Structure 1
Amino acid sequence: MNGHAMNGNSHTFDVIIVGAGISGINAAYRVQDQLPGTCYALLEARDDLGGTWDLFKYPGIRSDSDLFTFGFAFNPWNRSNPIAEGSAIKSYVRETAEKFGIDRNIRFRHKLQSADWSSDENVWNLNVDADGTATTFKARFVIFGTGYYNYHNPLQANIPHIEDFQGKIVHPQFWPEDLDYTGKKIVIIGSGATAITLLPNLAEKAERVTMLQRSPTYILSLPNRSSSRWLAYLLPSSLYQKLQRFIWIYTSRIFFLFCQRFPGFARWILKLNVSRQLPSHVSHDPHFKPRYNPWDQRLCVCPDGDFFQSLRRGKADVRTDTIKTVTKRGITLNSGEELDADIIITATGLQLQIAGGSKLSVDGKKIEIGSKYLWNGVMLQDLPNASFVIGYTNASWTLGADATAQFITRLLKSMEERKLAAATPRMKEGEAESLEERPLLNLNSTYVTVASKHLPLAADKGPWQPRDHYMKDIKFAVNGDLETGMEYVRGDVHLRAKSD
């Protein structure tokens, strides 16, 4: 794998991968491993790799999926802790990129602004801000490994009169590196994974930390060590890592299906898990009794019960209420209670977007992503030679990313063998009228429902159905139907570039 551009042109490639986070690094490995000689590059808008794990800097930032499945299948996570802090994940991503030579193909400070497909040339023209210089890149195929949220703008929550607050207001997505919260009174607005991670970490130094939630979230405490680690003494390392990954994939899937099939029983189990960890002054209802069923929204994992340890130590608390107004020195709740605060943290969610916010077009005609269906969860209707890496909401993101990457390499191999220049998902005339829409992401969380109009569509039938689970999707990636709903254009295209 030489990684050089075609025909000596440093801006022309067989495949361009947008983003050098988990999705991009995974896709790069699959491309160079399964399509030897393919000329590819990763365009990364930031000045370092890691994506999410380079962006977020708030105290305690960690994965909310186990690293045995969130890690790369081709370079397994080899530590005993399934839940890891952000810095460890970023180091792991960097080590992986260096180990397989992927880092040599990353172009940092290269932000994709827009991309236009030329039907005459069967090529993508990408307008890129290359460290302040407008540059055009060309590619036969584009993989958008940009994740699904806006790196620059968080979800804006409507918090009455927050502009009146005279203390510090912080959003976790833009955590100030010099923020000193020692001895401060802190209110975290939110109840998701970010808030549940922040509370125990802030409570170590702060005078008081209160998590203010409009509605509770399901929390599951798990020991932060592998329950199968004793097998490491009996099995070769590579076999043990594969088995461990297999165990976590299947047990996570079984637990999700159990919650969906027996929501009442699942509620009882989760209540039992939480209730035995609560201090006497904190009640389960209403603070830990969600209005929805388990896994209707993402379940939060709490390693070693650190969230509940903070509650028991008395430096942290939970309030379930709504905000009447923000004052100069805190928050007035609709119950009449006043929460004093030096710092307010708005952990209110992410703003979702696809393709990193870049503008996409075909022959100069803009493509509205929110009006197009997603073909088998990987390619967009009417958009040639492009794929979007979208993982799972109820399992590790990387599982979905890898299923996508393995599909792409198989599609490119097939196109090369059949001398095909372009592949475009198409609907038959009148087909859309027979479809019933389904949510692309099967969560009813606020940040998902708010952004639904900007996300691709999914339906109840055929290749337009939303993704379901890894076992099904990896089967499709390796052996699935490449014809239904797909239009191909013949052409003399060599997807594998010759050495310069």
Structure 2
Amino acid sequence: MNGVPPAVPDADVLVVGAGLSGIDVAVRLGEKCPDLDYVVVEARDDLGGTWDLFCYPGVRSDSDFFTLAYPFHPWRGRDAIVGGEQIREYLHDVVRHYDLDRNIRYGVRVCSADWQSETARWRVTLETEAGEQVVTPRFVIMCTGYYDYARPHDPVFAGLDAFDGRVVHPQFWPEDLDVDGRRVAVVGSGATAITLVPALTEHGARVTMVQRTPTYVVAQPRRDAVTDVARRVLSPARAHLVVAAKNALRQWAFYRACRRAPRQMRHVLRSQAVKAVGSAAVVDAHLAPDYDPWDQRVCITPDGDFFAALRRGEATIVTGHIERFVGDGLRMTDGTTVPADVVVTATGLRISLLGDVPLFVDGRPVDLARAVAYQGAMLSGLPNLGFVVGYLNASWTLRADATARLLTRVLRRLVDTGAARVVPVPPEGLSETAPMLQLDAGYLRRAAGLMPRIGPEYPWAYEQDVVRDRRAVAAADLDDGLCWTSADEPGR
């Protein structure tokens, strides 16, 4: 490279992704493994991951920020549900506070990773601004989230070319889009749609949410009443931990209630929605799913803003199937037309595990769907590799931080014992396996055949039960399910 230093230094640990998970892992590495050098590579030009990508109106956390923020860096803001810009500012503050910038390289994409048994190192090919580069870390931690940033789910609507208006996707929101006074159809009923509908009405749009099936929606206060009290009597750090613990337990209790008493919780959620919207007919037609709560995701609406937009008549819902786009909007299969000048296709995500990075072991490609996840953090057949995936029914960081702490324990032992490699080895009798991410959502069903597997019991389980799962991960026995070998022993 003509004397120019490489864009990415070789390091003991390569962390892929500088979003919530990657920053968490970097801080925990500095705490528990200060004798290891690490580098974080990020394909985008800034940190934040999801929160750098999404710029659509109203983008916000979909869980309270006391549990989404890190336990080691207190959230000092007033709101519990916060906007994307505040989240980005918080993450930049964490990076400054822990002096992480010197370890992060932006505009670097991982092209492939090949474990080399002979050297007990990964050979990772990177695409940088300076060209292709190869690094050889001892350990790789994938913090790439679980969905594709470049390719959202596209249901392929008929007649798209006939539409006279504009079609946009939330992942690629155009800066020049003005919706004031325009008719906007938001296609979808998930968290993004529930966020967009009230935000677009605030920008002067007349909004129709077009959904195939209803979703459970729950109002949650934007501010946490306990926060002010806790901050008056406790230090900022302790107040944060108290409020976060309270909110995590509340999320867990709500989830458990939905799973154990679904009929009663359906009644509770319906009653709350009717009271907020002011119309039992609207709720029964458009906000009363035919499945139980948390069979699919339950969406939150801060201070009930989604319900308020419906109540005021600034937004409406149409439930049915889209036949095709037409010149002035969307034609439904029942023959009606939803008029629109702008159509927002909030149609869901496309799963992308481990960043869709091609993985190899000694040149042989690895099929992730045949791997079994150890504690939701490592994969059978892949030595010296960890990954971070958060909860689907609670704050992402609750699991991401548990995983980060587990992986630093693994690294600490790797160094302290002089081992060269560690790889999960599931028991021969493990036959009852299922896709790793268990939720009956469309984007997960579409990707079920691509996911790593999990078993019924730890260390091979991965449950969406915050209390049980975090306890299992924290107490993980590193001799149960992991095979450790030294440099002079044959790798597995």
CA distance in 2, matches of 1:260, 1:68: 24
Aligned ranges for residues 81-120 of structure 1 at < 5 Å?
Answer: 81-120=79-118
Query: In 1, are the aligned partners of 2:170 and 2:345 still within 8 Å (CA)?
Result: yes
Letter in 2 for 1:486: L
For 2:392, the equivalent position in structure 1 comes to 393
- Determine if the alignment matches structure 1 residue 129 to structure 2 residue 137: no
Q: Deviations over 1:81-114 (max 9, x none)?
A: 1111111101101110111011221000010010
Structure 2 SS opposite 1:203: helix
The CA deviation at 1:261 is 0.3
CA distance in 1, matches of 2:325, 2:406: 50
Aligned match for 1:170, one of 154, 168, 171: 168
Aligned ranges for residues 180-329 of structure 1 at < 5 Å?
Answer: 180-229=178-227, 230-280=229-279, 283-329=282-328
Structure 2 SS opposite 1:286: helix
CA distance in 1, matches of 2:131, 2:307: 50
Could you say if the C-alpha distance between residues 185 and 132 of structure 1 is closer, same or farther in structure 2, counting changes exceeding 3 Å? farther
Indicate the larger mover: 480-489 or 114-123: 480-489
Query: In 2, are the aligned partners of 1:439 and 1:466 still within 8 Å (CA)?
Result: no
Letter in 1 for 2:72: F
For 2:23, the equivalent position in structure 1 comes to 25
- Determine if the alignment matches structure 1 residue 451 to structure 2 residue 447: yes
Q: Deviations over 1:378-407 (max 9, x none)?
A: 101100000110111111111111111100
CA distance in 1, matches of 2:464, 2:344: 34
CA distance in 2, matches of 1:471, 1:12: 38
For 1:488, the equivalent position in structure 2 comes to 484
Structure 2 SS opposite 1:61: coil
Q: What is the alpha-carbon root mean square deviation over aligned residues?
A: 1.8
Letter in 1 for 2:337: E
Could you say if the C-alpha distance between residues 344 and 9 of structure 1 is closer, same or farther in structure 2, counting changes exceeding 3 Å? closer
For 1:46, the equivalent position in structure 2 comes to 44
Normalised TM-score (structure 2): 0.95
Q: Deviations over 1:14-57 (max 9, x none)?
A: 11100000000000000001111320000000000000000011
CA distance in 2, matches of 1:89, 1:207: 26
Letter in 2 for 1:169: V
CA distance in 2, matches of 1:281, 1:461: 43
CA distance in 2, matches of 1:129, 1:479: 38
For 1:4, the equivalent position in structure 2 comes to none
Query: In 1, are the aligned partners of 2:9 and 2:39 still within 8 Å (CA)?
Result: no
Query: In 2, are the aligned partners of 1:403 and 1:470 still within 8 Å (CA)?
Result: no
Normalised TM-score (structure 1): 0.93
Could you say if the C-alpha distance between residues 149 and 29 of structure 1 is closer, same or farther in structure 2, counting changes exceeding 3 Å? same
The CA deviation at 1:311 is 1.5
CA distance in 2, matches of 1:461, 1:299: 26
Could you say if the C-alpha distance between residues 370 and 164 of structure 1 is closer, same or farther in structure 2, counting changes exceeding 3 Å? farther
For 1:5, the equivalent position in structure 2 comes to none
Structure 2 SS opposite 1:81: coil
CA distance in 2, matches of 1:260, 1:280: 27
Any unmatched runs of 5+ in structure 2? 1-5
CA distance in 1, matches of 2:350, 2:241: 35
Structure 2 SS opposite 1:377: coil
CA distance in 1, matches of 2:448, 2:324: 29
Structure 1 SS opposite 2:46: coil
The CA deviation at 1:304 is 0.7
Q: Report the identity percentage.
A: 39
Q: Aligned residue pairs: how many?
A: 483
Q: Deviations over 1:319-354 (max 9, x none)?
A: 111112211211111222111111111101000111
Any unmatched runs of 5+ in structure 1? 1-7, 494-500
